């Protein structure tokens, strides 16, 4: 028992919660910066076409201006809804979640950054049952994996996001694959270790590695009784697969996610 009657386990638990919250705020801060630029672009489009509509009195020009303004406004609505969804505190409750919709919202948030760094994103979303997860936490993991993938492709590249059911395992699988530099085989077993990083420092975006992201991702997935697997080949790329439990029909009410536990070795399946 430590000072103040707080046990060591309780302190460790509290520190983990603080770390997870800090990471969420850091991710949100980066997204706010990214989406602010995108929102300015949307506003510029609206302003320019509004001026065009005011200058031109003919119906064709005004209809064109109104169409572009409407398109930009709908884009702005998508951006704000996605950011609000990320920012909204949804606690640690699990519920049946449509992973395809989660991916769609996340891609809205990441679109500008991917375009800026010449990264093409392709989605393969097979018909799948809902996953029984805390959507907010899974979105944090997805954002982390996509950011890592983008940073692994300094000259641009391609990210594939795939959702597919695995009936035999009773899971819905969410994969993020990149065409980046890959992870050397001697480093692969350590990538989920806390404070371990393969990044050498800030990239062109000013973002470096803390070594915390992937370890927290694994803890989040294991809270959901799921698994995270990685396959990587140097010079070819890396693929992370999240194996998440399928929502059963009786799981209509939300259930708290299990407390953070110690990661297990079986969560990692390195490429052979």
Answer yes or no: do 124 and 179 share one domain. yes
Task: Name the band, by pLDDT with cuts 50, 70 and 90, for residue 268.
Answer: very low
Cα–Cα nearest to 158, from 125, 111, 120: 120
Contact indicator for 244, 98 with CB cutoff of 8 Å: no
In this structure, the answer to whether residues 260 and 140 fall within a common structural domain is yes
Give residue 44's domain range. Answer: 8-86
Instruction: Judge if pTM exceeds 0.75.
Output: no
**3-state SS assignment for residue 238:** strand
pLDDT beyond 50 at 32: yes
The pLDDT of residue 11:
80
State yes or no: pLDDT of 206 exceeds 70. Answer: no
Average pLDDT over all residues of the chain: 80
Q: How confident is the model at residue 31 (pLDDT cuts 50, 70, 90)?
A: low
Other Cβ atoms less than 10 A from the Cβ of 201: the count is 8
Name the more confident of 194 and 220. Answer: 220
Q: What is the CA radius of gyration of the chain?
A: 21
77 and 96 inside one domain = no
Task: Provide φ and ψ at 159, rounded to 5°.
Answer: -115, 130
Let me know: does 254 contact 262? Beta carbons within 8 Å. Answer: no
CATH number of the domain residue 40 falls in: 1.10.287
**Number of domains forming the structure of the chain:** 2
Residues 164 and 201 in one domain: yes
Residue 202 lies in a domain: yes
92 pLDDT more than 50: yes
240 vs 149: CA distance, rounded Å: 10
- Which of 86, 113, 146 finishes a domain? 86
82 lies in the same domain as 120: no
- pLDDT, one tens digit per residue, over 247-262 is 987 555 555 554 433 2
Mean pLDDT of 45-74: 90
Does the structure show a pLDDT above 70 at 271? no
The reply to whether 129 and 254 lie within a common domain is yes
CATH number of the structural domain spanning residue 261:
3.30.565.10
| pLDDT (mean) for 21-26 | 65
Mean pLDDT of 92-113: 86
Q: Are 177 and 164 in contact (CB under 8 A)?
A: no
């Amino acid at each position: 028992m430590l000072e103040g009657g707080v046990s060591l386990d309780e302190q460790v638990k509290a520190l983990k919660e603080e770390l997870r919250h800090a990471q969420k705020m850091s991710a949100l801060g980066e997204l706010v910066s990214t989406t602010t630029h995108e929102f300015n672009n949307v506003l510029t489009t609206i302003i320019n076409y509004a001026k065009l509509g005011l200058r031109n009195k003919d119906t064709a020009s005004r209809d064109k201006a109104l169409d572009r303004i409407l398109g930009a406004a709908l884009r702005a609505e998508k951006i704000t809804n996605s950011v609000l969804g990320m920012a909204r505190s949804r606690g640690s409750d699990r519920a049946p979640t449509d992973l395809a919709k989660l991916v769609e919202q996340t891609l809205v948030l990441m679109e500008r950054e991917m375009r800026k760094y010449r990264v093409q994103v392709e989605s393969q979303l097979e018909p799948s049952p809902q996953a029984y997860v805390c959507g907010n936490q899974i979105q944090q993991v997805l954002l982390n994996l996509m950011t890592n993938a983008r940073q692994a492709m300094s000259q641009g590249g391609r990210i594939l996001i795939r959702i597919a059911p695995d009936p035999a395992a009773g899971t819905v699988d969410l994969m993020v694959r990149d065409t980046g530099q890959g992870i050397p085989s001697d480093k692969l077993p350590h990538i989920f270790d806390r404070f371990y990083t393969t990044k050498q420092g800030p990239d062109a975006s000013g973002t470096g590695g803390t070594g915390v992201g992937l370890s927290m991702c694994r803890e989040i997935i294991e809270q959901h009784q799921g698994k995270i697997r990685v396959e990587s080949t140097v010079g070819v790329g890396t693929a992370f697969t999240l194996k998440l439990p399928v929502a059963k029909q009786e799981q209509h009410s939300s259930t708290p996610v299990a407390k953070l536990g110690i990661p297990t070795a079986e969560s990692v399946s390195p490429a052979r």
